[in-house]
C-alpha cells in the first residue's frame, strides 16, 4: 500500500472512501448519509489545499483509497504556522500501521513547510487513537465537553497538539 498525496483527478476515490467511512464508524464527524459533498466539491477542496500549503494524503491499495489524512493550514497570518488534522482508515485496514505511516509523512511534510504546530480533536473514548497520537508526540491540551452528540449521548473530545 502506498501513502501519497491525493491528486484532484482522484477526488471520486476519496469521496467513495469517505462515504464508506461514514457508514462504518461513529468516530468521525458525519453520520451515514449525512455527507453532501460531490466529486466537484472534493476536487475543489484538493485544489484549494494545494494552493494554501495544506495537505491531502491517501492510502492507496491498488486503485482504491482505504485511508486519508487532511491537514488544513491556518488561513490567517497569525495561524499559518499550524495544521488542523483529521484522519480516518476503513475498518478492514485497521491495525496495519497505516495511520503511523500517514503521521510520519505529515510530520516530515510539516517540517519542510514551516509548520510549527499540528492540532486535532479525538473522542475521549477512542483509546487506540489517543495512544497513537501520544506515540507521535501529541499532548492533550484540554477537553471539549459535550463536543459531539451521537446515539442520544453527548461525548467529550480531547484537543491535542504537537509542536514541531
pLDDT digits (tens, 9 = 90+) for 125-138: 999 999 999 999 99
Model confidence pTM above 0.85: yes
* Segments of the chain with pLDDT less than 50: none
Confidence (pLDDT) at 29: 76
H helices of the chain, in order, are 11-24, 39-52, 98-111, 127-135
What residues pair up with 161 in beta bridges, in sequence order? 119, 139
For the domain 2-115, what is the CATH superfamily, name and number?
Answer: Gcn5-related N-acetyltransferase (GNAT) (3.40.630.30)
Number of neighbouring beta carbons within 10 Å of residue 148 = 15
Say how far apart CA 138 and CA 133 lie, in whole Å.
5
What per-residue confidence (pLDDT) applies to 27? 75
DSSP-derived 3-state class of residue 113: coil
Domain spans in the chain, listed from the N-terminal domain onward: 2-115
Amino acid at each position: 500500500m502506498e501513502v501519497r498525496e491525493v491528486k484532484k483527478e482522484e477526488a471520486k476515490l476519496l469521496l467513495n472512501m469517505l462515504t464508506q467511512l461514514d457508514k462504518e464508524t461513529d468516530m468521525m464527524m458525519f453520520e451515514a448519509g449525512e455527507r453532501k459533498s460531490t466529486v466537484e466539491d472534493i476536487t475543489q477542496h484538493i485544489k484549494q489545499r494545494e494552493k494554501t500549503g495544506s495537505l491531502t494524503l491517501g492510502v492507496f491499495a491498488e486503485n482504491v483509497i482505504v485511508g486519508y489524512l487532511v491537514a488544513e493550514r491556518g488561513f490567517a497570518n497569525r495561524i499559518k504556522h499550524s495544521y488542523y488534522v483529521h484522519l480516518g482508515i476503513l475498518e478492514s485496514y485497521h491495525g496495519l500501521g497505516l495511520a503511523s505511516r500517514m503521521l510520519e509523512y505529515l510530520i516530515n511534510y510539516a517540517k519542510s513547510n514551516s509548520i510549527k504546530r499540528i492540532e486535532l480533536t479525538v473522542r475521549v473514548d477512542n483509546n487506540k487513537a489517543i495512544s497513537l497520537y501520544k506515540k507521535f508526540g501529541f499532548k492533550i491540551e484540554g477537553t471539549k465537553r459535550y463536543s459531539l452528540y451521537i446515539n442520544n449521548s453527548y461525548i467529550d473530545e480531547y484537543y491535542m497538539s504537537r509542536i514541531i
